[in-house]
Amino acid sequence: MDASGRDVVRLVPVGVRGADKGWGLRGFSLDRAFPAVAVLPTFVVMLCIFGIPLLFSLYLSFTGWALDQALMGGRFVGLANYEDLLNDPAFVGSLGITFGYTAAAVAAQMALGLAIALLLNIDLPYMRVLRTALVVPMMITPIVGALCWKLLLEPSLGFFNYLIGQKIVWLGMPATALASVWVVSVWQSTPYVALILLAGLRSLPTEPLEAAAIDGASRRQSFWHITLPLLRPYLLVALLLRVIFEFRAFDNIYALTGGGPANATMVLSMFTYLTSFVRFDFSLGAAASWIMLLISMITCLFFIATIRRRDTY
Amino acid sequence: MAAVVGSRRMRRLQAGLVYAVLTALAAIFLFPLFWVFGLSLKTRLQVFADPPLFIWWPTLENYVDVLSRSDFLLAFVNTLVVAGSAVTLSLCVGVPAAYAFARFPFTGRSFLFFALLVMRMLPPIAVLVPMYVLFSKLGLATTRLSVVLAYATFALPLVVWIMRGFFEDLPKELEESAWIDGAGRYRAFVHIVLPLAKPGMVAAGILCLQLAWNDFLFAAVLTNNATQTLPVKMMSFSAGDSGVDWGGLTASGMLVILPVIIFSFAAQRHLVAGLSSGAVKG
């Protein structure tokens, strides 16, 4: 990034004086170190709050360790923690629930989000107001949003049971509890998908659609064969982000069900939370969180590879 | 932008249909909030009315109760301090790094950038487990500092991602002319680049502030009664000694989201940029 080859003719803005003599040679070498100096604080912070904790948790996951022991005083147990997890029906169940829940929630969010984005993209007056209203569930504090739903679903006082005239304990039965959590996540995150896709629709070139219209393509044809393929990068980004964020789902489930009833909504985050901070088994919690970490990293790499491949081609 | 096509009558019909569908969706999306806002304006007796009351004389007593509680105000101050510090820390540390990422090739650049991506994508619980252990051994557990550091795990990558994109879009000529005139990298950064980067920093700051404000998991684990944040305080109303405190729960819930709604609208045009940051740029 050396500028010396270019003829830049521009006045120096006020506030920048020319080089004073004292800066001299030392300034030159310091100047070359600029990128390193600029990145160093970020590197140090990342190391402290991200690198060291993760390495420590990897260490914990291979030991039997309790909070009253010295930091590195755990006894090495090899893969025993991981074996325990894979033999624990609650953990294996929570793997399945997490995958199923993530897939179902993301699929619904993507479909509904695309529909909303297409509608909001139609050029009509007052669309701004509607867009603003539709985006609210995404903006508000997730735990408050979940709480609102919990009150709506309340067996004796909730609005839903009043509406259908029954006293169903929505969050107390396995099937309806998982479905309720799913509905809340669709409510909360569909706007997120809609906003990303709306931005994508707005940035699409209009020429291909016009050309197709001139050639007599129907609206359905131009949607399937032009709009959707052009929107693909945005769809992929929305998909990646939703998969990553649903995979770590915690707040909604904590507020609505706490993982129950009978582990029906026990997603991996909830399992890890309960193992670590309720049962205080940090070694097992560390092993569970490393399994989560590996799954999200693999997912991430897979998506990045997909996106990159499309770009170069 | 798609236009409504067809004959005039068809167009009207289609427009009406679009409005009807979107308005219905908006009503469904907003209903839970309105319902709980309604509950927060009811007395305890009115909350327990069966069937629910749809017309009543609204009362502000729940809000008065919540706002006169010193622990609620303490939680409000805690949230402000913790979220504000996390955002400030992330901006101070992350902005120079983002500038370096955008402008200079250096060894380890792609590795660091990938690490930031992982940091943004990893499940928060995975970093919280070892963080809690390390913090308790260092005597930092339940301090505000521990929450600030925990929030930096999501705020820092977000700042670097947003600001890197911002710096890449800035024209290079201004800095380059300053370099030629002998200003040096540091001085050009402080006097020329930073003032230009202000809008980006405001956007990144607001987005991080919102994420920090909305956090529940980190604060729930890393705080105690003296240091807890608003979302944690709000949840404690649902687990009191005398059962659920409906008035306190609903009123505090509404008070927690009020600032978020205000600053979301302040940052609306930056929202999408922030949402898709962390995604791979083409």
A48: chain B residues, CB-CB within 8 Å: 149
Of the candidates B30, B92, B127, the beta carbon closest to that of A133 is on B30
Of the candidates A30, A198, A293, the beta carbon closest to that of B126 is on A293
Q: Is residue A207 part of a domain?
A: yes
CATH of the domain at A166: 1.10.3720.10
Instruction: State the best of A1, A126, A143 to mutate against chain B, taking most chain B CBs within 10 Å.
Output: A143
Q: Is residue A80 part of a domain?
A: no
- In this prediction, residue B181 carries a pLDDT of 80
B131 touches chain A (CB under 8 A): yes
Q: Is residue A101 part of a domain?
A: yes
What residues of chain A, 74 to 133, have a C-beta less than 8 Å from chain B? 116, 118-124, 126-127, 130, 132-133
B262 touches chain A (CB under 8 A): no
**Rama region for A264: left / alpha / beta (φ>0; ψ in -120 to 50; rest):** alpha
Parent domain of A142: 97-312
Task: Say if residues B62 and B248 touch (Cβ distance below 8 Å).
Answer: yes
Q: Are B119 and A307 an interchain contact pair (Cβ–Cβ within 8 Å)?
A: no
Q: For residues A92 and A237, what is the distance between their CA atoms, to the nearest angstrom?
A: 29
Q: Is residue A26 part of a domain?
A: no
Task: Say if residues B186 and B97 touch (Cβ distance below 8 Å).
Answer: no
Q: Are B133 and A56 an interchain contact pair (Cβ–Cβ within 8 Å)?
A: yes
Q: Are A139 and B183 an interchain contact pair (Cβ–Cβ within 8 Å)?
A: no
Q: Is residue A62 part of a domain?
A: no
The total of structural domains in chain A comes to: 1
Helix (H, G, I), strand (E, B) or coil at B228: coil
Q: Are A41 and B93 an interchain contact pair (Cβ–Cβ within 8 Å)?
A: yes
B224 touches chain A (CB under 8 A): no
Q: For residues A131 and B75, what is the distance between their CA atoms, to the nearest angstrom?
A: 32
Of the candidates A118, A137, A304, the beta carbon closest to that of B29 is on A137
ipTM of this complex prediction, to 2 decimal places = 0.88
B19 touches chain A (CB under 8 A): yes
Of the candidates B1, B23, B217, the beta carbon closest to that of A250 is on B217
Q: Is residue A273 part of a domain?
A: yes
How is residue A313 annotated by DSSP?
A: -
Phi, psi for residue A63 in degrees, rounded to 5: -125, 170
Local confidence pLDDT in tens for the 313 residues of chain A: 444 444 444 444 444 444 444 444 444 577 778 888 899 999 999 999 999 999 999 999 999 888 888 878 778 888 999 999 999 999 999 999 999 999 999 999 999 999 999 999 988 888 888 888 898 999 899 999 999 999 999 888 888 888 888 888 889 888 899 999 999 999 999 999 999 999 899 888 888 888 888 888 888 888 888 889 999 889 998 999 999 999 999 999 999 998 889 899 999 999 999 999 999 999 999 999 999 999 998 988 888 788 777 654 4
Q: For residues A237 and A197, what is the distance between their CA atoms, to the nearest angstrom?
A: 9
| Amino acid sitting at position B24 | A
Residue A303 vs residues A103, A107, A127, A268, B90: alpha-carbon distances, Å: 15, 16, 33, 21, 27
Q: Is residue A4 part of a domain?
A: no
In terms of DSSP H, where are the helices of chain B? 8-40, 44-47, 61-67, 70-103, 109-121, 124-137, 144-169, 173-180, 184-188, 194-214, 217-222, 230-236, 246-266, 271-276
Q: Are A147 and B117 an interchain contact pair (Cβ–Cβ within 8 Å)?
A: no
Q: Which residues contact A204 (CB under 8 A, 6 or more apart)?
A: A227, A230, A231
Q: Is residue A51 part of a domain?
A: no
pTM over 0.90: no
A176 touches chain B (CB under 8 A): no
**Cα of B14 to nearest chain A Cα, Å:** 10
Domains of chain B (ranges plus CATH)? 8-61 (no CATH), 62-276 (1.10.3720.10)
Residue B168 vs residues A7, B162, B201, B282: alpha-carbon distances, Å: 21, 10, 14, 13
Indicate whether B274 pLDDT > 80.
no
